[in-house]
Amino acid sequence: MFSIALVILVVLLALCFDFVNGFNDTANAIATSVSTKALSPRNAIIIAATLNFSGALAGTAVAATIGKSIVSPDNVTGLVLCCALIGAITWNLITWRFGIPSSSSHALIGGLVGGVIAGFGYEAVLWHGFTRIFAGLVISPIVSLTAGSLVMTLLFWLFRGASPTRTNSSFRRLQIVSACMAAFAHGSNDAQKSMGIITMALMAGNVINVFEVPLWVKMACAAAMAFGTAIGGWRIIRTMGGKIFRIEPINGFAADFTSSLVIFMASHIGAPVSTTHVVSSSIMGVGAAKRLKGVRWNIARQIVAAWIITIPSSALVAILVYKVVAILV
């Protein structure tokens, strides 16, 4: 149990995380459509912000997974949750500053594990639940990579005799649809993670008695992410939209369509996946189907390296913050 003041602080930090997540992950939904000029940057941002908001209200299965699978309610304290969120926010800002498409999901989970370890030790982490979540985070980009390659191969086969100019013109319009799908999917998965953290705090503070996400929490998290999306993540858009390989409209549609389906399925079963992982893996898969040597694998390696170090890095930040606060208090 902890005070109402700490509950309010956790809520504010969780909304800050959603805001940072919004501008850090904006590129997930709009990078390819901006890169191919299917959408202007302004229109892409409006679409992404609006659909992120709508997607965030679509369900709470992911919130329940985050709130129940990593730490026991007995080990939920204000300090643990605050340090978890600070660790995640700090890592997100570092990777955003350098234009690295890191995973906000990994950062939050790493921060939460680090906060629990600092407060109660390794045995306090529900490692079975953590392993299941981590498995989903690892499997989802593999599925996206494979599916992206298959979808792109199918499209090449279906349009093999068509005029390239006409094909790209058609898919440039279809990219608007796929960008909407990707933005809605992003909101349906990512915003729920903060909802789970806030609901944990509300339960620990005896504000609510059962783990059920209140409507005001859904609305606040959705709004914070949409506002962050409206600010935009242009550094990462340059990486996702052009540095992996030269994207054409048919490629952008295939990547967005594939990634949105993978994220939709994950949200439906309550699996917190990394939208950054899913989208960038889809782009790699699409690029590999187009031309294996056309993918800039050095950029891909940098992205994978960021994936690997995110959980331990955000966990370390959370542990350090916990130790500093403990000394000061």
pLDDT at 228 over 60: yes
**What is the band of 229 on the pLDDT scale with cuts at 50, 70, 90?**
confident
The residue among 263, 22, 28, 285 whose CA lies nearest residue 151 is 285
Domain residues for the domain of 228 are 4-328
39 versus 194: the higher-pLDDT residue is 194
Compute CA 64 distance to the chain's CA centroid, rounded to the nearest angstrom: 16
* Buried residues in 165-201 as b, exposed as e (16+ CB within 10 A): eebbebbbebbbebbbbbbbbbbbbbbbbbbbbbbbb
What average pLDDT is seen over the chain? 83
Q: How many C-beta atoms lie closer than 10 Å to residue 5's C-beta?
A: 10
- pLDDT value of residue 238: 53
Q: Using the predicted structure, report yes or no on whether residue 294 has a pLDDT greater than 80.
A: no
The amino acid at residue 242 is G
pLDDT grade for 325, boundaries at 50, 70 and 90: confident
Output the DSSP codes for 104-117.
HHHHHHHHHHHHHH
Select from 320, 284, 306 the least CA-distant residue to 92.
Answer: 306
- Give residue-wise pLDDT tens across range 138-197: 888 889 989 999 999 999 899 888 888 888 888 988 988 998 998 899 888 888 888 989
The 10s digit of each residue's pLDDT in 241-252 is 445 556 788 888
pLDDT at position 85 over 90: yes
Q: What is the pLDDT of residue 241?
A: 45
* Mean pLDDT lowest among 89-93, 110-114, 231-235, 267-271: 231-235
Q: What is the mean pLDDT of residues 286-314?
A: 73
Q: Do the beta carbons of residue 156 and residue 17 sit within 8 Å?
A: no
Overall number of domains in the chain: 1
280: nearest Cα among 191, 188, 186: 186
What percent of the chain has pLDDT above 90?
23
